[in-house]
Amino acid sequence: MEDLPDALIGEIVKRVSSTSDLSSLSLVSKRLYKIEAENRHTIHIGCSLQPATDAIVSICSRFHNLLKVDINYSGWTQDHGNQLDNHGLRILSSYCLSLSDITLSFCSYIDDAGLGYLAFCKKLITLRLNSTTKITSSGLLAVAVGCKNLSALHLINCNKISGTFEWLKYLGSDGSLEELKVKNCVGISQYSLLMFGPGWMKLQRFVFEVRNIYNIFEPKDPSYVANCRYRYDFCCENLKELSLRRIVTVEEIGLRSLLGKCKSLEKLCLHFVLGLTDSDMITLAQNCSNLRSISLQLEPVFCEGPEGRVCRTPLTDESLKALALGCRILQVVELTMFGCDYGYPEIGFTQEGLVMFFQSCPIRDLVLCGANIFDDEGMKALSSAQFLQTLELMDCIYITDAGMRLLADSPSLVNLTLRQCGGFSDVGVAEVVRARKLDSLIVEGCSRVTRKAVLGTAKSVHYEQDYPGYGRLRRSSLSFGQD
């Protein structure tokens, strides 16, 4: 090692990913201690950092080339001592001038004054705030004005952010934001986000989720004027990823208006969007020919039908037909029907519609959950799907051993997940694993499938006798294609 140049040792150090290994390496010699410090670009800080202020001074003095810092006080109690506070954040922003990625999670000692120090981080590109309970719009405005290179902003469980949203207006007009994620921030509504204005044109990834549905009977944009849609007349043609969860919207009011404007859209998640209709999906399909991934999580609502009002999931075969015709390169699909047990409430899709959809698109990864309309006849379509590599079936109660046997002929299947399906047994699963060389097999909560039948049948096998079932899970656990 002594004969190797510092630059080469630095390249070796960069390839060591384990923090404990890097720490051990730095103890070998003063030379390695120095080289490791110069090449450490990422650090994680948490409850063990004590005393916090002294420790951050030591860290910043040694690792002055830091690019990414993750400060996470999840699980913190008073017994852990003081958290890193505003002064600590000032030290961090003063010493580490190359910082480009900062995450603050459960930092209850940091408020707007502390966040304002990040304005000194002129190279900051990504900022994530998770459960930072003292941060308000004022702190975000300071970051928006000071950090001209900010391109990704994540806000999760930040409940004091509300008011005039000058930070959002500023980022929309003068910022360079390409990624915006807002999850469970009670002071930020879908109507507040319309203030982003021209920023929608630059945005490439957008996520908006709320924990609870508000104003369920009269969702209303307070500034909406009938026949005057200026607030919704914005362009988002660069948007590639869109995720909306638990929003309530009617007609053209709200974020649902995005669906017809994202011509570059490649990935879409619509989870429990109240007000979603077939017309929305038809509009989407007509404008988003580049769509490669779609996740639909649906729950029953009252819909008008030929025989009057009926309780069913809102989308029908018309949506599937539109997607099949307009989105011909769909590869990743999730269809989750929530709360439709044994035929009531009803599912808007039919098995014929699903079969047509599966046969029309080159689906590579498929999750089908809660589909009580899908049985062995439907499995024929899946068994003949030329591109299907990964299949997850959950709470599909009418698939039997006969349907499972059909998967033995699937030409490309290599990953199979079976959850809470009681219609088939060891016999049907055995037929599949004998015929297919599976890379992965996961079986959870399938009452008639035993551990003995699946062990050793694939490169990676996971078996659990019990599984809570999607109906008793928090809906957030049914995340598909999200970080």
The β-bridge partners of 225 are 228
Please check whether residue 409 lies inside any domain of the structure: yes
Any idea what the CATH number is for the domain that residue 16 is in? Answer: 1.20.1280
Backbone angles phi, psi at 106, to 5 degrees: 55, 35
> Per the domain annotation, does 77 fall within a domain?
no
How confident is the model at residue 354, as a pLDDT? 97
Specify if 198 maps to a domain: no
Distance in angstroms between the alpha carbons of the first and the last residue of the chain? 40
Question: In 10 A of CB 205, how many CB atoms?
Answer: 17
In 3D space, the residue among 289, 347, 338 whose CA is nearest the CA of residue 316 turns out to be: 347
**Residue 426 within any structural domain of the chain:** yes
Q: 3-class secondary structure for the chain?
A: CCCCCHHHHHHHHHCCCCHHHHHHHHCCCHHHHHHHHHHCCEEEECCCCCCHHHHHHHHHHHCCCCCEEEEECCCCCHHHCCCCCHHHHHHHHHHCCCCCEEEEECCCCCCHHHHHHHHHCCCCCEEEEECCCCCCHHHHHHHHHHCCCCCEEEEECCCCCCCCCHHHHHHHHHCCCCEEEEECCCCCCCCHHHHHCCHHHHCCEEEEECCCCCCCCCCCCCCCECCECHHHCCCCCCCCEEEEECCECCCCCCHHHHHHCCCCCCEEEEECCECCCHHHHHHHHHHCCCCCEEEEEECCEEEEECCEEEEECCCCHHHHHHHHHHCCCCCEEEEEECCCECCECECCCCHHHHHHHHHHCCCCEEEEECCCCCEHHHHHHHHCCCCCCEEEEECCCECCHHHHHHHHHCCCCCEEEEECCCCCCHHHHHHHHHHCCCCEEEEECCCCCCHHHHCCCCCEEEEECCCCCHHHCCHHHCCCCCC
483 residues of the chain, pLDDT tens digit each:
666 676 776 666 667 667 666 666 666 666 666 666 666 788 889 998 888 888 899 888 888 889 999 999 999 999 899 999 999 999 999 999 999 999 999 999 999 999 999 999 999 999 999 999 999 999 999 999 999 999 999 999 999 999 889 999 999 999 899 999 999 999 998 888 888 989 999 999 999 998 876 545 555 666 666 665 556 777 899 999 999 999 887 766 678 788 888 999 999 999 999 889 999 999 999 999 999 999 999 999 888 777 778 899 999 999 999 999 999 999 999 999 998 877 789 999 999 999 999 999 999 999 999 999 999 999 999 999 999 999 999 999 999 999 999 999 999 999 999 999 999 999 999 999 999 999 999 999 999 999 999 999 999 999 999 886 554 443 333 333 444
Residues 6+ apart with CB under 8 A from 230: none
Predicted local confidence at residue 215, as pLDDT: 47
Instruction: With CA atoms as reference, report the closest residue to 416 among 471, 454, 468.
Output: 454
Question: Is residue 381 in some structural domain?
Answer: yes
Residue 170 lies in a domain: no
**Rounded-to-integer distance, Cα 310 and Cα 300, Å:** 9
pLDDT at 189: 86
CATH number of 419's domain: 3.80.10.10
d(CA 315, CA 292): 19
Residue 394 CB contacts under 8 Å (≥ 6 apart), including other chains:
367, 368, 369, 370, 417, 418, 419, 420, 421, 470
CA 433, CA 103: separation in Å to the nearest integer?
43
For 33, the domain range is 1-40
| Residue 467 is assigned to a structural domain of this protein | yes
Query: Looking at residue 479, what is its pLDDT?
Result: 38
Partners of residue 419 on adjacent β-strands: 394, 444
- Asked whether 415 and 440 are in contact (CB, 8 A), the reply is yes
What is the pLDDT at residue 211?
82
What is the Cα–Cα distance from 114 to 53, expressed in whole angstroms? 13
Q: How many domains does the chain have?
A: 2
Q: Give the up-direction half-sphere exposure of residue 407: CA atoms within 13 A in the CB hemisphere.
A: 32
Instruction: Decide: 225 and 231 in contact? Cβ < 8 Å.
Output: no
Q: Which residue has the tokens 């090449």?
A: 39
Instruction: Give Dmax (Cα) for the chain.
Output: 84
In a domain, 135, yes or no: no
Decide if 428 contacts 400 (C-beta within 8 A): yes
15-22: which pairs have CB atoms within 8 A and are 24 or more residues apart? 19/44
